[in-house]
A and B are shown apart, each in its own frame.
Chain A
Amino acid sequence: METERSSCKSRIEDHPILDFPARKEVTFTWEGQELRGYEGEPIAAALHAAGIKVLHTSHKSKRPRGFFCAIGNCSSCLVVVNGVPNVRACTEKLREGMRVQRQEGTGPAPRSRE
């Protein structure tokens, strides 16, 4: 099991109160680009750590949308995961091999899994 730490500067390594134990690293894709994150962390945390803040565009004005409430309330962070739209990036856990895409408006109609 890989337990190495990410070298990303957004990751907190030393904290006066909290310990962030080493976790298993997984590979996933964002808009086709390969990224690494920790298994089981929210997709939004992995994306944020990689510097990706725009996750979604609004229905009417196509304004950029991102992480906002972090606890599944606000629907600002909807993304398409493995072809399924309207997945809340702030609560959905990251898994090995996930294909994550920015969601434009309502996103594509979900297709049956191959």
Chain B
Amino acid sequence: MAVRTTELVIIGAGPAGICAALEAASHGVKTTLVDRGEELGGQLIKQTHKFFGWHKKSAGTRGVLIAKKLAEEVLNNENITLLNSTEALGYYDDGTLLVETPRGIDRVLGDRLIVATGASERMLLFPGNDLPGVYGAGAVQTLMNVHGVRPGDSVLMIGSGNIGLIVSYQLLQAGVRVAAVVEAMPTIGGYAVHASKIRRLGVPIMTRHTIKEAYGKEQVEGAVIWELDENWNGIPGTEKDLEVDVVCLAIGLTPLAELLWQCGAEMAYIPELGGFVPLYDETMETTRKGVFVAGDVAGIEEASTAMAAGRMAGLSAARSLGKVSDLDYSRLRNEIAGELEGLRSGPASAKILSGIAKMRAMLQSVKEAAAVSEAEPANQPANQPADQPANRPAKQAASEPAEAGDLPKAGARDSEAQGNNGSKSEEAVGA
């Protein structure tokens, strides 16, 4: 078992992890970047559409090209050691990260850790949901855009958030028929620009509809959809039988946070952020000292905010290692905070912002409880119950200084950059 020592370990080489690594390395931090995939870039490698993003940063650029550029920067950076095709297995109390490389199991000893593990796709309950041919939207993109294989001949798309709409368009580009997009909500979840593109090509987007069942002997041979009433129950008599061989689920993502649970960071269920997320402060540090987070694992957003949050985590880790002067730190922190604020200024970001405010209120409660237990060690159990912070009133969020609220506004923005676009943002809970 090889032992590798480093100043900073980053798990996940998607947009967040790569930007964290580049930022930390720019301050001279010896960084080890771990990713289970062979290729760098995480889910960007299958995003063929152009990002809205931030005009200075990749707006109007296709995800695949952003990934290529970021990967080159990582490979040319002498402060970054890349461990690709390597899975993180567990993080121990003494700061050991156990990883499985193609050659065996190694120990990585880092002074700081950034978890940028991303998200996984949500599942939906319906009869036949386990049949081969029922695929996640990300899987369809991988098969089609990375490996050049069509997922099938005809697809039923579940969910009309941006992922559902964008992947529908990509299916059409690959020559696959999209029979319909169904959406349980009364309105389309994603941007009108994406919805219009597929509608013009003749794909019906059926709101207030969901899948009733998928059927087939050994694999999907068809699917039945039906209309929903105001109580989200299917209306008998409205069933439509669609001849499809693929059912594509685009119903949202949830943070891939097992490693944070395992290493003892305080977690909380915050629906606005996509499920259970770690509590973290404005420097992206969790309640476990020296463990930072960035990207979808900290709350489901999209690649542009993940890149900015990654830089913030990388900067904070570098700062805590004593590698950044006060002057540089406050300048860079303001710059990144301004960028995040800009990216989250659109109406689609209201949900994220309220989720972050909730999360910060919970973090505040945990910190107060910890301070009390430190002051009166005799009266307090050593471990606070994890659910206690959730009972605190949410109004504490208001008394907290708003993130970056006192920072200078970001400069001119591309008019397209309003809000966060996204490959990865899912506003709607389809079906």
Knowing A16-B173, A71-B142 touch, does A42 contact B147 (C-beta < 8 A)?
Answer: yes
Determine, out of B129-137, B205-213, B231-239, B259-267, the stretch whose residues face the partner at the interface. B129-137
Q: Is the CB of A12 within 8 A of B150?
A: yes
Decide yes or no whether B218 CB sits under 8 A from chain A. yes
| A contacts with B: majority SS | loop
Residue of A9, A12, A17, A44 touching B62 (CB-CB under 8 A): A17
Knowing A18-B48, A58-B130, A64-B131 touch, does A53 contact B139 (C-beta < 8 A)?
Answer: no
Q: Is the CB of A41 within 8 A of B147?
A: yes
**Which of B62, B130, B148 gathers the greatest number of chain A CB atoms within 10 Å?**
B148
Q: Is the CB of B136 within 8 A of A68?
A: yes
Knowing A42-B147, A45-B143, A71-B139 touch, does A54 contact B219 (C-beta < 8 A)?
Answer: yes
Bound together, the chains give a CA A46 to CA B218 distance in angstroms of 19
Bound together, the chains give a CA A65 to CA B219 distance in angstroms of 9
Residue of A9, A67, A73 touching B143 (CB-CB under 8 A): A67
Bound together, the chains give a CA A9 to CA B131 distance in angstroms of 22
- On chain A, the number of residues with a Cβ less than 8 Å from chain B's Cβ atoms is 31
Decide yes or no whether A98 CB sits under 8 A from chain B. no
Knowing A12-B144, A17-B48, A53-B132 touch, does A68 contact B149 (C-beta < 8 A)?
Answer: no
Q: Is the CB of B143 within 8 A of A48?
A: yes
Hey, what's the 0/1 contact readout for B105-132 against A, CB within 8 Å counting as 1?
0000000000000001100000000111
Q: How far is the CB of B260 from chain A (nearest CB, A)?
A: 16
- Beta-carbon contacts under 8 Å, B4-50 to A: 36-37, 48
Decide yes or no whether B389 CB sits under 8 A from chain A. no
- Beta-carbon contacts under 8 Å, A1-18 to B: 9-12, 15-18
Bound together, the chains give a CA A20 to CA B148 distance in angstroms of 7
Decide yes or no whether A35 CB sits under 8 A from chain B. no
Decide yes or no whether A26 CB sits under 8 A from chain B. no
Residue of A18, A49, A63, A65 touching B149 (CB-CB under 8 A): A49
Nearest residue (CB) in B for A10 is B150
Q: Is the CB of A64 within 8 A of B62?
A: no
Hey, what's the 0/1 contact readout for A53-70 against B, CB within 8 Å counting as 1?
111001000011111111
Q: Is the CB of B130 within 8 A of A65?
A: yes
Bound together, the chains give a CA A69 to CA B132 distance in angstroms of 11
Q: How far is the CB of A36 from chain B (nearest CB, A)?
A: 13
Decide yes or no whether B271 CB sits under 8 A from chain A. no
Q: How far is the CB of A65 from chain B (nearest CB, A)?
A: 7
Q: Is the CB of B138 within 8 A of A64?
A: no
Q: Is the CB of B149 within 8 A of A54?
A: no
Decide yes or no whether B175 CB sits under 8 A from chain A. yes
Residue of A41, A49, A67 touching B139 (CB-CB under 8 A): A67
Bound together, the chains give a CA A90 to CA B135 distance in angstroms of 12
Bound together, the chains give a CA A45 to CA B145 distance in angstroms of 11
Given the complex, which residues of A lie within 8 Å of B136, measured CB to CB?
68-70
Given the complex, which residues of A lie within 8 Å of B135, measured CB to CB?
67-68, 70
Given the complex, which residues of A lie within 8 Å of B142, measured CB to CB?
70-71
Given the complex, which residues of A lie within 8 Å of B121, measured CB to CB?
69
Decide yes or no whether B314 CB sits under 8 A from chain A. no
Hey, what's the 0/1 contact readout for B136-161 against A, CB within 8 Å counting as 1?
10110011110111110000000000
Given the complex, which residues of A lie within 8 Å of B218, measured CB to CB?
53-54, 64
Decide yes or no whether A107 CB sits under 8 A from chain B. no
Bound together, the chains give a CA A18 to CA B174 distance in angstroms of 10
Decide yes or no whether A72 CB sits under 8 A from chain B. yes
Hey, what's the 0/1 contact readout for A12-52 against B, CB within 8 Å counting as 1?
10011110100000000000000000000110110011000
Q: Would you mind naming 19 contact pairs between A and B with Cβ atoms under 8 Å apart?
A: A15-B148, A15-B173, A15-B174, A17-B62, A44-B143, A45-B143, A45-B149, A48-B149, A48-B151, A49-B149, A55-B132, A66-B132, A66-B219, A67-B132, A67-B135, A67-B143, A68-B139, A69-B120, A70-B142
